[in-house]
Amino acid sequence: MALSRRDFFKTSTILGGTILGVSKKSFAEETEQSIADNWGMLNDSTLCIGCRGCQSACKKEHGLDRVGNDPRYDMPTDLNADNLTLIQLYNKTETEYCFIRRSCLHCNYPSCVSVCPVAAFTKRDDGVVVYDKDKCIGCRYCQVACPFEAPTFEYDEAFPVVHKCDFCKDTRLDKGLKPACASVCPRGAIKFGKRGELLEEARNRIKDNPERYNAHIYGETEIGGTSVMFLAPKNIEFDDLGYHSWGETPPGALQEKIQHGIFKYWIPPVALYGALAILAVSNRKKNNDDNQSEEAGNES
């Protein structure tokens, strides 16, 4: 099959986007400036040595359970309700490999926020995408929607909760501290700061070291941009690291546009109601007028 699903995604969203006039602006009132001022993270895979210090720090900070029941502790293999971030190894060849980090990317136009039926996910003014369990009904639409597979759910609990990275907002960020992962990384592979500055920094790193870096900054434009961005070593493609080129339109854009269209001042539903009511009443009148003659020439 010549087309891969992912190739398709790119073209179809661009196409869908232009046909329906969807622009990123149809989302919350984000501006270039407000996005630049958001908190963000720059993950530099060329610096990461895979010590997984960030993973452990995250677990400790959030008080999450260890993996399995065995007292001999082991590494998780996927994001789950007890592991909000994960370091994975991508081995291209003996000498070309890198470690890549996974977590919530705190999207500029987050799909989870678009879809959550009860506004349990919101994007704060400082860009942090946060979750409120008191609103959540546990429908898991956020899991279906997030392209980065970040939200996880406690399937084995009777009273389950959704989990994902929150930039340590309660225990650190709102007290003026950097998130735990960024502060423990011994190699400085995780840089925390304002998104605009981090983007600048990422560009400079690539410019100063074109031999070292893949020229692409992942998260700069993907699905409308993300607060957490990535640099990769030269010769390693982001697609192989699980960071796909999803196109620039946020996945939630089309649906937001349609919902806005329908519920703009409730005009379409009210108009439909009115039209049907007029139709019903006039049909009824007609029926009374020419009485029993309804059978003839009936098309339905």
Partner 1 sequence: MKVNAAPMNQKIWTPWFTVGVIFIALGAIVTLYRFIFGIGAVTNLSDGVPWGIWIAFDVVTGIALAAGGFTMAALIYIFNRGQYSPLVRPALITALLGYGIAAFSIMLDVGRWWQLYNPLLPRSWQGNSPLFEVSLCVMTYLTVLILEFVPIAAEKYKDSDNAFLKSLANKLGPVVNKALLFLIILGVVISTLHQSSLGSVMLVAVARIHPLWHTAWLPFLFLVSAIAVGFPVVVIESFVSAKAFKRSFEAGILSKLVKVTPWFLAIYGVVRYSDIIISGKAGYLLSGWGLLFIVENLMLIIIPFFMFINQKARTSPNGLLIASVIMVVGLVLNRLNTYLITYSPRPGWDYFPSIGELLVSAMLISLLFVGYKILANNFPVLSKEH
Q: Give the closest residue to 93 by CA, choosing from 240, 213, 231.
A: 240
Give 189 or 228: the residue with its C-beta nearer to ligand SF4. 228
Residue 111 in the binding site for ligand SF4 (CB under 6 A): yes
Tell me the two tokens of residue 34. Answer: 């407000």
How many Å is the Cα radius of gyration of the chain? 25
- How many other C-beta atoms lie within 10 A of the C-beta of residue 272? 10
Judged by CB under 6 A, the residue of 110, 224, 225, 247 near ligand SF4 is 110
Distance from C-alpha of 118 to C-alpha of 74, rounded to nearest angstrom: 36
Binding mask 99-128 for partner 1 (x = CB under 8 A): ------------x--xxxxxxx--------
d(CA 106, CA 128): 6
CA–CA distance, 104 with 82 (Å, rounded to integer): 14
Binding partner 1 by CB under 8 A: which of 32, 94, 134, 290? 134
164 near ligand SF4 (CB under 6 A): yes
- Which positions ≥6 away from 163 have C-beta within 8 Å? 81, 82, 84, 131, 151, 152, 153, 154
- Does position 157 interact with partner 1 (CB under 8 A)? The reply is yes
Rule CB under 6 A: say whether 136 interacts with ligand SF4. Answer: yes
Nearer of residues 40 and 151 to ligand SF4, judged by Cβ? 151
Question: Does 156 participate in binding partner 1 (rule CB under 8 A)?
Answer: yes
Residue 298, binding choice from ligand SF4, partner 1, none, Cβ under 5 to 8 Å by partner class:
partner 1
Smallest distance, Å, CB 236 to ligand SF4? 21
Per CB under 8 A, the segment of 29-37, 123-131, 150-158, 210-218 that binds partner 1 is: 150-158
Least distance CB 14 / ligand SF4 (angstroms): 20
96/187 Cα distance (integer angstroms): 19
Among the listed residues 138, 193, 196, 233, the single contact to ligand SF4 using CB under 6 A:
138
Measure Cα distances from 140 to 12, 129, 161, 164 in Å: 25, 16, 10, 13
- Strand ranges for the chain from DSSP E: 39-44, 86-91, 97-102, 121-123, 129-131, 152-153, 162-163, 190-194, 228-231
Amino acid at the residue 273? Y
CA atoms within 13 Å, Cβ hemisphere of 214 = 20
Find which of partner 1, ligand SF4, none residue 104 binds, CB within 5 to 8 Å per kind: ligand SF4
Question: Of 158-197, which residues contact partner 1 (CB under 8 A)?
Answer: 158-161
267 binds, among partner 1, ligand SF4, none (CB under 5 to 8 A by kind): none
Residue 154 makes CB contacts below 8 A (sequence gap 6+) with 81, 160, 161, 163
Please give the size of the binding site for partner 1, defined by CB under 8 A. 79
Tell me the C-alpha distance between 56 and 53, whole Å: 5
Contacting range for partner 1; rule: CB under 8 A; set: 47-55, 64-72, 230-238, 267-275? 267-275
Member of 41, 47, 142, 232 binding ligand SF4 (CB under 6 A): 142
Tell me which of 141, 167, 218, 230 binds partner 1, using CB under 8 A: 141
Given the rule CB under 6 A, which residues bind ligand SF4? 104-107, 110-112, 115-118, 120-121, 129, 131, 136-142, 146, 148, 150-151, 162, 164
